[in-house]
Structure 1
Amino acid sequence: MLCIGSVLWDVIGRAHLPMRLGNDVPGRITRGPGGVAMNIAMGLERFGLTPVLLTAIGQDAEGDELVAACDAMGLVTAHVWRDPQLPTDRYMAIESSEGLVAAIADAHTLEAAGDRILAPLEDGRLGTAAAPWTGFVALDGNLT
């Protein structure tokens, strides 16, 4: 199963109280693997499947940590596109007791990679024009 799209760090601030613009409230801030492709892959792994990730992750300390987290979960990262010039993508959200307040998706590395993340489907690692990938594919609908 291929999971194509965003794999990034989710940074989520959660407050158990309602929030208003300009106020601060107590809460918790967490960081964990996330992104559409990552969330799908984690779900598939829970059903005993071994998802293959096609994505872009920065070749930085945060990226190394993210790839290690994916590997530890049993996800295949051998085909992840890594760039030493770009940072690992992040998503930051603020949630209150009433739900999502605001979020920013910093997916510049995935956007910069463009169709380079699909190279394994063309160069023989996962398929070619003559012998295309025949398995299932989950595609992040946010890709442009």
Structure 2
Amino acid sequence: MKQEQQGEKPYVVVIGGANIDIGGQAFEPLVLKDSNPGTISMKLGGVGRNIAHNMSLLGLHVCFITAFGEDVYAAKIASSCNELGIDSSPSMHVQHGFTSTYLFIEGKDGDMEAAIADMALYEQITPEFLQTREYLLQEAQVIVVDTNIPENSIAWIAKHCRTPIFVDPVSTTKAMKLQAVLGLIHTLKPNLLEAEILSGVKITDRVTLYQAVDVLLATGLQRVFISMGKQGVMAADHRGCKMLPCIKTTPVGMTGCGDAFMAALVWAYLNELELEESAKAGLAAASLCIEYPETVNPNLNQKHLKERANFTEYSVSTI
């Protein structure tokens, strides 16, 4: 974060991925090993970047730490962050590096047929690099981490930062990076598969779901919000747990809901909302996201979030 901003406004830090997503969709059934007529799009993505974008829309002051390559994609992402009011200046720029890129091909029906994820650049976000940003991390209100960064870097953040840490496991494979530090995390937002991996409990019904929650909280984790797709979310802390259904809406886009949910959890925490109200905020943000064809709904804001969550008597504090 720019030095002149430090001390002026409370801020949150996001550490994680910022990608360029390049996708192609065929007009007709895909023919392998041949050229297929279709459309090609390029969008900004990455779990960390998406969360930062959503938090900025909710009025939070966001500092973003990622790894940029030495290419036009890095300039595009940094420019977008600047336009959104996200400070990406503490990010690292890797000489001769290539900015993280996700390349995918969809068939006529929109189902992904093949993809390549080039995310090796995030290995550069080492504990040694993070030490150079320690003051920034220690003074933040919240640190949000996605597991695209190395396991030893996640461990360094968990063990050295007194700031509350919120984590998105990203995937079942990357979730394993959290196993040793779960007890040092404030809030975890896994899906069912990630919750199974981290708890060691096969979730098949309500009973085993509660068992998984108990195992996760027993590590010392303070809050867990398990996304259950169309079934809603299981929210739990050391005082109890609550299953909440999804908010009914008309789906348009299916990606980015988890990123919006996490952003709303941070917003709710900073506004001192209890467990159930925090989950409602997350579900409201996710429902707004799903109504928009892109990964982030630009119409997300505090007013719309409160209305969707039905916070009729809730007054937002100044963040």
Residue type at the aligned position of 2:37: P
TM-score by length of structure 1 reads 0.79
* Cα distance, 1:51–1:15 mapped onto 2, change above 3 Å: farther
Range with bigger deviation, 1-10 or 60-69: 60-69
Name whichever of 72-81 and 41-50 sits farther off.
41-50
Q: Counting helix residues as a fraction of each chain, which structure ranks higher?
A: 2
**Count of residues in Structure 1 that have an aligned counterpart in Structure 2:** 138
- Larger RCO (CA within 8 A; separation ≥ 6): 1
Pairing partner for 1:138 from 134, 140, 144 = 144
Alignment of 1:1-144 (within 5 A): 1-15=12-26, 17-22=28-33, 24-96=35-107, 97-122=109-134, 124=135, 126-127=136-137, 132-144=138-150
Tell which structure's C-alpha radius of gyration is larger: 2
Long gaps (5+) in structure 2: 1-11, 151-319
* Greater share of strand: 1
Q: Deviations over 1:9-51 (max 9, x none)?
A: 1111123544353455432211121111111112222222232
Q: Percent identity?
A: 28
Which residue type is aligned with residue 113 of structure 2? V
Q: Structure 1: any 5+ residue segments left out of the alignment?
A: none
2:215 alignment partner in structure 1: none
One-letter identity of the residue aligned with 2:143:
V
Contact 1:12–1:31 at 8 Å: present in 2 too? Answer: yes
**Aligned-partner SS, 2:82:** helix
**Secondary structure of the equivalent of 2:48?**
helix
Residue type of the alignment partner of 1:34: G
What's the RMSD between the two structures over aligned residues?
2.3
Q: How much does 1:142 deviate?
A: 3.2
**TM-score normalised per structure 2:** 0.39
User: Secondary structure of 2:55's match?
Assistant: helix
Distance 1:15 1:138, change over 3 A: farther
